[in-house]
Amino acid sequence: MRILVTGGAGFIGSALIRKIIAESNFSILNIDKLTYASNINALDEVKDSKNYQFLEMDINDRESLAKALIDFKPTSIMHLAAESHVDNSIENPGKFVETNVLGTATMLIESHNYWKLLSEELQNSFRFLHISTDEVYGDLEETGYFTENSPYMPSSPYSASKAGSDHLVRAWHRTYKFPTIITNCSNNFGPFQHKEKLIPKTINSIMRGESIPVYGDGMQIRDWLYVEDHVDALIEVLKNGTVGETYNIGCNNEKTNIELIKGICKIIDSYDEFPIKGKSSEDLIKFVDDRPGHDRRYAIDATKIKNELLWQPKKNFEAGIKETIDWFYANNRN
């Protein structure tokens, strides 16, 4: 198997590539623009592998993308390249449309052009896996879960741009019979995550003794998925998922933001170096104005992927968050 991965220097993409290189003989071409959120150092352990190649490139560069496809000859594509931070999408929505919508369109156009050149056998085994988010569904009331049949009701420019990309992927399958699959995942966490995200921001704020900003009342609920479990699911979908289908990936680890933050504070306070100046890390919590259009609750029903592909998360939340905190502490990520 020869897999072209877009956005492979990002948080989820780099975890995916590390897993594939470590556990298979598959060949990987990583295409990444290396934006501010990329971390090429997250791929240090695989950079010298004979099965790994890296190409710094914008997925909207159609000519370079077409050449990369012909040169590498992928048997599958895993499309993760995306702008993903909601706050940034509110400040600069055009960038999110450019990357998430137009970038996905470019990927589909050029990948389909490449696919048409393949033999019938290779066309039948080819897969275009589009990695998306549960935020496309909007938010939930206090009960209920997102399923693969939930209506799309995105709230932010980010989630709207991801919804648009999902619709394009489905259209290419319906119109051109292009072999696509979509996954929609809940909030990821783990080592190497960018500092702008909630968990790394909380950890780093405590380590620096700075205030921990909490939007609104902090009672927004998220379903947390350890990144290693997510990439296991993605590999399973690539290998055994049904063309044209969507798979929701989540862990039923629902926590309010304030519950999550206080839990991190408690763990860090148990370390010898903390609490800072003899105080509880919770003293650093500062409630700030809620962001516009902030979704109240996300929760994933992952029954389909568990029943059809026999995927199960391996890491419980408590172990995963402890490992994540330890990693950020050991690596002093600022």
Enzyme catalytic residues: 134-135, 158
Helix (H, G, I), strand (E, B) or coil at 257: helix
Side-chain-side CA neighbours of residue 315 (13 Å):
22
Q: What is the per-residue DSSP string for 9-77?
A: TSHHHHHHHHHHHHH---EEEEEE---TT--GGGGTTTTT-TTEEEEE--TT-HHHHHHHHHHH--SEE
Burial 109-140 (b: 16+ CB within 10 A, else e): ebbbebbeeeeeeeeeebbbbbbbbbbbbbbb
Residue type, position 158, single letter = Y
Residue type, position 321, single letter = I
Cα–Cα dist 33/55, whole Å:
8
User: What does the H/E/C string look like for 121-151?
Assistant: HHHHHCEEEEEEEHHHHCCCCCCCCECCCCC
Phi-psi region of 162 (alpha: psi -120 to 50; beta: other; left: phi over 0): alpha
80 within 8 A of 6, measured Cβ to Cβ: yes
Q: Which of 233, 218, 231 is nearest to 16 (CA)?
A: 231
Rg (CA), the chain: 20
Cα–Cα dist 14/194, whole Å:
12
